């Protein structure tokens, strides 16, 4: 595996000093070091997204308010290691995240990886559903790699050059290797570097991984689309179909999925009028979840049949076939 770099644009020390003075001028002491410590000890980075962003905000405000010595002492006395503190501070300094917190997963490590994305990548990730509350670091890293190198907008530029050759110890476990790659991708992305692996996975395995990752995106889409329908559904109907949560409905077999929605709407005509697009998304989800080629063929054929019987859905079906069902 090689790491490559290219010359980075630099900022003069005078410019940096000027920006720093302007930034500090906007900061006004708000709390004492002890009060910041109380906030950090009482906070949590293992709860909700709001909890995580709140802790990150405390660290940001502390950096803006305290002297360097006070900040160092606060970090030493906080519940977080230097590495974790650094990630939380970077999250806190990223003003983009507050506006998309509904799409963020409740894991600070994955939020930090999202923070490392460029503005364009962040916009595309949210818009196309790659960033959602259940996304994992591995899934996100694979999408970024796919976006940059396998049909995304950014290819390896000619002015990149090899920087270092990373040697792997013998008999390294798959778990350790996977974690190493995730951590490495996070670092190189932050600095604008690129990785190039000498032995990539086979295309079959890569496609299967991408399919599983994208299936989570569709789960997120269906969850949003069916939220109000689930809340409207009678409890007796949910019990009849053995559904205890909206997630159960989204991941249920096709017969349960369509049966529940048909019963909620009362007849098939209303079902197609209200849930036609949901049905299409569900077919695409099942297509991505199965590894059986014959079943995948059947799902594609089913959508083509729906396009013929419901012409108003034909355009949407073509979009779904092109976007989700090419693997």
pTM summary value: 0.48
Whether residue 282 sits in one domain with residue 180: no
Whether residue 97 sits in one domain with residue 182: yes
pLDDT tens digits for range 27-56? 445 688 899 999 999 999 999 999 999 999
Q: In the chain, where do the E strands start and end?
A: 2-5, 161-165, 194-196
Whether residue 120 sits in one domain with residue 23: yes
Determine the pLDDT at residue 237.
92
Whether residue 261 sits in one domain with residue 308: yes
Determine the pLDDT at residue 128.
84
Is residue 288 within 8 Å of 211, Cβ to Cβ?
yes
pLDDT tens digits for range 215-237? 888 898 999 999 999 998 999 99
Tokens for 232, please give them. 């409207």
β-strand partners of 5: 161
Whether residue 235 sits in one domain with residue 189: no
Among the three residues 196, 224, 243, which one is the final residue of a domain in this structure? Answer: 196
Whether residue 216 sits in one domain with residue 182: no
Distances from the Cα of 31 to the Cα of 39, 64, 67, 73, 192, angstroms: 10, 11, 12, 15, 36
Is residue 262 within 8 Å of 294, Cβ to Cβ?
no
- Number of domains, the chain: 2
Whether residue 106 sits in one domain with residue 48: yes
Instruction: Estimate to the nearest angstrom the gap between the alpha carbon of 92 and the chain centroid.
Output: 18
Whether residue 135 sits in one domain with residue 59: yes
Among the three residues 181, 196, 211, which one is the final residue of a domain in this structure? Answer: 196
Whether residue 126 sits in one domain with residue 219: no
CB count in 10 Å sphere of residue 280: 22
Structural domain that includes position 245:
203-324
Whether residue 224 sits in one domain with residue 183: no
Whether 174 has a pLDDT exceeding 50, the answer reads: yes
Is residue 157 within 8 Å of 8, Cβ to Cβ?
no
Whether residue 169 sits in one domain with residue 57: yes
Average pLDDT of the chain to the nearest whole number = 81
Whether 258 has a pLDDT exceeding 50, the answer reads: yes
β-strand partners of 165: 2
Percentage of the chain with pLDDT > 90?
48
Whether 82 has a pLDDT exceeding 50, the answer reads: yes
From the list 95, 101, 103, 105, the residue with the least C-alpha distance to 46 is: 105
Determine the pLDDT at residue 138.
81
User: Is residue 207 very low, low, confident or very high in pLDDT (cuts 50, 70, 90)?
Assistant: low
Is residue 90 within 8 Å of 112, Cβ to Cβ?
yes
Whether residue 177 sits in one domain with residue 231: no
Whether 315 has a pLDDT exceeding 50, the answer reads: yes
Is residue 68 within 8 Å of 96, Cβ to Cβ?
no
Is residue 27 within 8 Å of 64, Cβ to Cβ?
yes
pLDDT tens digits for range 136-154? 888 888 787 777 655 443 4
Among the three residues 196, 215, 233, which one is the final residue of a domain in this structure? Answer: 196
pLDDT tens digits for range 273-311? 999 999 999 999 999 888 777 788 889 889 999 999 999
């Amino acid at each position: 595996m090689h790491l490559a770099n290219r010359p980075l644009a630099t900022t003069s020390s005078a410019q940096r000093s000027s920006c720093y003075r302007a930034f500090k001028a906007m900061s006004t002491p708000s709390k004492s070091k002890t009060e910041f410590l109380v906030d950090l000890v009482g906070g949590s980075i293992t709860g909700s997204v709001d909890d995580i962003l709140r802790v990150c905000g405390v660290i940001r405000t502390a950096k803006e308010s305290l002297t360097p010595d006070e900040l160092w002492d606060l970090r030493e006395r906080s519940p977080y290691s230097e590495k974790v503190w650094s990630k939380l501070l970077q999250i806190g300094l990223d003003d983009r995240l507050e506006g998309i917190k509904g799409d963020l997963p409740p894991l600070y490590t994955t939020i930090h990886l999202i923070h490392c994305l460029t503005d364009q990548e962040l916009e595309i990730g949210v818009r196309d559903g790659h960033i959602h509350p259940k996304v994992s670091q591995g899934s996100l890293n694979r999408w970024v790699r796919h976006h940059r190198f396998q049909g995304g907008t950014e290819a390896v530029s000619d002015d990149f050059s090899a920087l270092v050759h990373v040697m792997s110890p013998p008999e390294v476990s798959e778990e350790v290797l996977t974690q190493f790659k995730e951590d490495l991708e996070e670092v190189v992305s932050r600095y604008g570097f690129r990785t190039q692996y000498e032995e990539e996975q086979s295309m079959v395995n890569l496609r299967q991984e991408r399919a599983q990752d994208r299936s989570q995106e569709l789960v997120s889409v269906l969850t949003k689309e069916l939220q109000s329908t689930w809340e409207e559904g009678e409890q007796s109907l949910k019990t009849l179909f053995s559904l205890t949560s909206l997630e159960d409905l989204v991941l249920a077999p096709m017969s349960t999925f369509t049966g529940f929605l048909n019963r909620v709407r009362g007849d098939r005509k209303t079902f197609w009028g209200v849930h036609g697009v949901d049905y299409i998304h569900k077919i695409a989800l099942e297509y991505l979840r199965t590894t059986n080629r014959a079943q995948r063929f059947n799902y594609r054929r089913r959508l083509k049949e729906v396009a013929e019987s419901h012409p108003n859905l034909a355009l949407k079906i073509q979009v779904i076939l092109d976007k989700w069902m090419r693997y």
